[in-house]
Amino acid sequence: MPRQFTPKVVTANRLLEGDAVWLTEDGRWTPDMREAELLDEEAHAELRLLLAQSQPDVVVGPYLADARPGAEGPEPTHFRETFRTRGPSNYTHGKQVEL
């Protein structure tokens, strides 16, 4: 029996900076997962992933990541994606500079 499709977001790393980014509904790449397009249909998710894969000059390693709807937009459901929303793992770069 095939697994039921669960909501996803398209994510990748920005080619030049290496930052984690998510694909928005209007086709932009954002560093804020809450702005990502939440995909709840498998066929549409696959099309959005193909769009991401067609941009090797912008992002690397695009994939579909599980997500759930949240009050402010999509939220991660797995530790890996939670970690990626926080930026680099040391406090002197990226999203963690303000901390």
Question: Would you state the pLDDT for residue 33?
Answer: 96
Which DSSP helix (H) or strand (E) runs through 12? Answer: strand 8-14
Q: How far apart are CA 93 and CA 26, in angstroms?
A: 28
Average pLDDT, the chain: 90
Could you give the residue ranges of the DSSP H alpha helices within 6-62? 42-53
Residue 98, pLDDT above cutoff 70: no
> Would you say 23 and 11 are in contact if contact means Cβ atoms under 8 Å apart?
yes
The residues, ordered by sequence, that sit 6+ positions from 5 with a Cβ below 8 Å of its Cβ are: 40, 41, 42, 45
* CA-based nearest residue to 12, from 4, 22, 3: 22
pLDDT band for position 59 (cuts 50, 70, 90): very high
pLDDT band for position 94 (cuts 50, 70, 90): low
Q: What predicted TM-score, i.e. pTM, was given to this entire model?
A: 0.85
Query: How far does Cα 61 stand from its chain's mean position?
Result: 11
* CA-based nearest residue to 42, from 1, 6, 82: 6
pLDDT band for position 95 (cuts 50, 70, 90): low
